[in-house]
């Protein structure tokens, strides 16, 4: 058990990210008390039922009262309104942070409502699964994943250092990044891949000549990796695309340009172009394995558990 880093932490929004934060904070004793609030009564009840947070409050204002750290864990589009709600209830000297996948837009929505004497340190933990909701969290989600801190102009260095200590205590590696650069990097590593995955899954579903059951039965050939990405929370992703519009559209433009070049190579039978392209992309995979951001086990090492799941079908 570490020394508590904050006496009281309030988590606003209780989905995958917040619930995983809670279990990781508990694991290492990083806070004296963790309060929680979610807009829906069902979520609050579920949270109480499974012991999520030390205390679930029926209003955001109640949850943030006396908190040294308030973390906004709501979809990006809800950050501004939530912040407006809690502004007057914040303890002087407290830090407000968030976990949004987009930073420029969140900063613009949240910063104007931050009271004098309260610190705002935006953050973005790069971790997730295809599951959502208060029951989907687990303490290991952030272990060895990256959390990006995006301090705004005038962010108090001490408040930044304390938040860094929290995320390191949770298990993450921490980096700092400028907001616009963050949004471009994430457009490449996350937002555009998600949009593409959603699109491919939509295409598959839409094809009447290829029945649903065929698409599902034969998904192991590559398609199922797209479906995992495309099973992520719809509200969260709608907000991400609407609020990181510019960078996403830019990367999408690059993507279709490249795709058309490969499409043309297929049409004209230019095997050399295809082979060169495919050889080049292999090296990137190698880099990710070496950086410890994925497993080298074949098929993500899921063969075993998948086989178990379907033991009755054979």
The footprint of a copy of itself on residues 171-210 (CB under 8 A) is 173, 175, 181, 184-186, 188-207, 209-210
Query: How many angstroms from the chain centroid is the CA of residue 192?
Result: 14
Judged by CB under 8 A, which stretch of 1-9, 42-50, 108-116, 292-300 contacts a copy of itself? 292-300
Q: Is the dihedral of CA 299, 303, 306, 310 positive or negative?
A: positive
Q: Does 87 bind a copy of itself (CB under 8 A)?
A: no
Helices (H), the chain: 16-28, 41-50, 60-64, 79-86, 104-110, 157-170, 179-186, 192-206, 212-217, 223-229, 234-243, 245-268, 271-290, 303-309
Q: Does 108 bind a copy of itself (CB under 8 A)?
A: no
CB of 56 to a copy of itself, least distance (A): 23
Q: Is 304 exposed, middle or buried (0-12, 13-18, 19+ CB in 10 A)?
A: exposed
Q: Does 1 bind a copy of itself (CB under 8 A)?
A: no
Judged by CB under 8 A, which stretch of 1-9, 40-48, 106-114, 243-251 contacts a copy of itself? 243-251
Q: What are the backbone dihedrals phi and psi of residue 49, each rounded to the nearest 5 degrees, phi first?
A: -60, -40
What are the structure tokens assigned to 84, written together? 């407006």
Q: Which of residues 45-84 bind a copy of itself (CB under 8 A)?
A: 77
Q: Which of residues 21-40 bind a copy of itself (CB under 8 A)?
A: none
What are the structure tokens assigned to 259, written together? 């795709």
Q: Does 266 bind a copy of itself (CB under 8 A)?
A: yes
Q: Which is nearer to a copy of itself, 33 or 143 (CB)?
A: 143
Other Cβ atoms closer than 10 A to 143: 14
CB 70 within 8 A of CB 64: yes
For residue 135, give the nearest of 8, 215, 44 by alpha carbon. Answer: 44
Counting residues that bind a copy of itself (by CB under 8 A) gives: 123
Q: Does 241 bind a copy of itself (CB under 8 A)?
A: yes
Judged by CB under 8 A, which stretch of 5-13, 57-65, 155-163, 215-223 contacts a copy of itself? 215-223
What are the structure tokens assigned to 279, written together? 């050889």
CB of 92 to a copy of itself, least distance (A): 35
CB of 171 to a copy of itself, least distance (A): 8
3 state SS for 174-195: EEECCHHHHHHHHHHHHHHHHH
Q: Which is nearer to a copy of itself, 116 or 280 (CB)?
A: 280
CB of 122 to a copy of itself, least distance (A): 16
For residue 52, give the nearest of 75, 20, 30 by alpha carbon. Answer: 20
Q: Does 103 bind a copy of itself (CB under 8 A)?
A: no
String of contacts with a copy of itself for each residue 133-152, x by CB under 8 A: ---x-x-xx-xxxx-x----
Judged by CB under 8 A, which stretch of 31-39, 40-48, 159-167, 262-270 contacts a copy of itself? 262-270
Other Cβ atoms closer than 10 A to 279: 9
CB of 169 to a copy of itself, least distance (A): 12
Judged by CB under 8 A, which stretch of 5-13, 38-46, 66-74, 220-228 contacts a copy of itself? 220-228
Say how far apart CA 180 and CA 19 lie, in whole Å.
28
Q: Does 19 bind a copy of itself (CB under 8 A)?
A: no
């Amino acid at each position: 058990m570490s020394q508590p880093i904050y006496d009281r932490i309030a988590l606003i929004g209780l989905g995958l990210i917040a619930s995983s934060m809670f279990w990781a904070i508990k694991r290492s004793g990083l806070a004296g008390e963790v309060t929680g609030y979610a807009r829906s009564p069902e979520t609050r009840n579920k949270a109480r039922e499974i012991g999520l947070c030390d205390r679930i409050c029926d209003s955001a204002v109640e949850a943030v009262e006396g908190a040294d750290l308030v973390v906004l864990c709501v979809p990006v589009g809800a950050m501004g309104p939530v912040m407006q709600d809690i502004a007057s209830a914040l303890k002087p000297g407290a830090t407000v942070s968030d976990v949004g996948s987009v930073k420029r837009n969140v900063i613009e929505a949240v910063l104007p409502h931050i009271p004098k004497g309260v610190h705002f340190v935006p953050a973005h933990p790069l971790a997730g699964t295809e599951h959502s909701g208060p029951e989907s969290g687990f303490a290991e989600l952030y272990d060895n994943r990256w959390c990006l801190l995006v301090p705004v102009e005038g962010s108090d260095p001490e408040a930044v250092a304390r938040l860094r200590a929290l995320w390191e205590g949770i298990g993450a590696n921490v980096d700092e990044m400028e907001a616009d650069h963050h949004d471009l990097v994430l457009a490449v590593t996350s937002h555009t891949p998600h949009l593409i995955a959603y699109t491919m899954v939509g295409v598959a579903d839409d094809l009447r000549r290829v029945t649903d059951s065929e698409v599902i039965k034969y998904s192991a050939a590559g398609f199922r990796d797209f479906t995992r990405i495309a099973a992520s929370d719809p509200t969260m992703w709608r907000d991400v695309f609407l609020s990181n519009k510019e960078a996403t559209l830019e990367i999408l433009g690059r993507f279709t340009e490249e795709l058309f070049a490969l499409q043309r190579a297929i049409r004209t039978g230019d095997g050399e172009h295809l082979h060169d392209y495919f050889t080049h992309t292999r090296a990137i995979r190698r880099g990710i394995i070496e950086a410890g951001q994925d497993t080298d086990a074949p098929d993500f090492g899921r063969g075993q558990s998948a086989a178990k799941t379907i033991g009755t079908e054979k």
